[in-house]
Structure 1
Amino acid sequence: MTDSDPGDEPELELQSRRTIYQHVRDSPGTHFRALLDGLEYAQGTLQYHLRWLEDQGLLEESDDGKYTRYYPAEEFDEIDQAVMNALRREYARRIIAHLVVEGALSTAALSDRLERSPSTVSWHLSKLEEADLVTKERQGRSVEYELRDPERVQYLYTVHRRTFTDRVVDRLFDLWDSY
């Protein structure tokens, strides 16, 4: 057996890179802190390998305004990444679930369902609107929000359901499936 030149290494020859890559494939949209906690690599080591995997075109990153999230390259388009970014945030995920199941809802209605202040719900709705995931329409004195593509949201949630830990949303999506 001959020693190979380090420049000829296959992209995922290192176990650490395979582990990081597989973790992102298994939980697309995961963020750096979750990777750090789940994989127990040193911060610098993880940063180095993530950057290397991105430079090799194996991973893509998406900034959701709070976190940098990671996706397997070329598996999620920008819209899918925006949906997954939102689904990874607890209250955005719950708002989305209600909109999938019930259709257009006002901030007040969502506030009641989530038992959160209207200002909190409004903030999350504005983030969903910025991500182009919801539309708003004036209905008399109130504004109602609706998902742009509920089928796409349902599909992505269903495919990646095991990576979300939210029984409330699971029950809502199960209700939607029963229609």
Structure 2
Amino acid sequence: MPEPDLELESRRAIYQEIAAIPGIHFRALLDELDYAQGTLQYQLRWLADEGLIDVSEDGKYTRYYPAAEFDDADRTVMNALRREYSRRILAHLLVDGPLSTTELSDRLEKAQSTVSWHLSKLADAGLVTKERDGQRVLYRVSDSDRVRYLYTVHRQSFTDRIVDRLLGLWDSY
């Protein structure tokens, strides 16, 4: 999609940042652009009202996307990919899945409760499915092609070398 004609420098800068880092949240925009909070809020509202950006709630953050470039399913995946441990869980499941909470906990070196919380959020979003295998519950990515594609296309905005290495993208830098 061509960049819209934005007359104000602040609007243009905000739109360009959202286009460069789809799924960026408000605080990150504040940090990156160094605008006053009220200015950023006003310009984001203007961009949304004009239909130039889409707004997505991921449960913790309000995230921003260039309008019409991401459907609901893409925004759901991108919201998860913007969270560090959700992104890493998805990467491990893509490469070695299906995996249990214990296996993921060992790989991430995080408490099982933390991994379980992230898996619960991913399952609620429809990004992972779980299946019983005897005593174990195994998780797998629901739409692995979509997750892999969106990570690959937007990988430079994630700067996560661990996931890049897992997905075999290390050499592409």
TM-score, normalised relative to structure 2: 0.94
Counting aligned pairs with the same residue, the percent is 69
1 CA distance for matches of 2:111 and 2:10? 43
Q: Helix, strand or coil for the counterpart of 2:168? A: helix
Decide which of 149, 156, 161 is 1:155's aligned counterpart: 149
| 1:39-64 superposed Cα distances (whole Å, 9 cap, x missing partner) | 00000000000000000000011111
Structure 1 residue 42 corresponds to structure 2 residue 25? no
Q: Alpha-carbon deviation of 1:165? A: 1.6
Q: Alpha-carbon deviation of 1:144? A: 0.4
Q: Which amino acid aligns with 2:57?
A: D
- Residue 11 of structure 1 contacts residue 56 of structure 1 at CA under 8 Å; is this kept in 2? no
1 CA distance for matches of 2:134 and 2:11? 55
Decide which of 13, 17, 25 is 2:19's aligned counterpart: 25
Q: Alpha-carbon deviation of 1:151? A: 1.0
1 CA distance for matches of 2:102 and 2:55? 34
Corresponding residue for residue 58 of structure 1: 52
Structure 1 residue 78 corresponds to structure 2 residue 38? no
Aligned length: 168
TM-score, normalised relative to structure 1: 0.91
2 CA distance for matches of 1:123 and 1:165? 23
| 1:74-102 superposed Cα distances (whole Å, 9 cap, x missing partner) | 11011110110101001001000001101
Corresponding residue for residue 85 of structure 2: 91
Corresponding residue for residue 127 of structure 1: 121
2 CA distance for matches of 1:163 and 1:59? 18
Structure 2, gaps ≥5 residues long: none
Aligned CA RMSD, in angstroms, stands at: 1.6
2 CA distance for matches of 1:153 and 1:11? 31
2 CA distance for matches of 1:69 and 1:55? 15
2 CA distance for matches of 1:70 and 1:174? 28
Q: Alpha-carbon deviation of 1:11? A: 5.7
Q: Alpha-carbon deviation of 1:167? A: 1.0
1 CA distance for matches of 2:93 and 2:144? 8
Rg (Cα) greater in structure: 1
Q: Which amino acid aligns with 1:29?
A: G
| 1:118-148 superposed Cα distances (whole Å, 9 cap, x missing partner) | 1110000000011110000001001000101
1 CA distance for matches of 2:68 and 2:21? 15
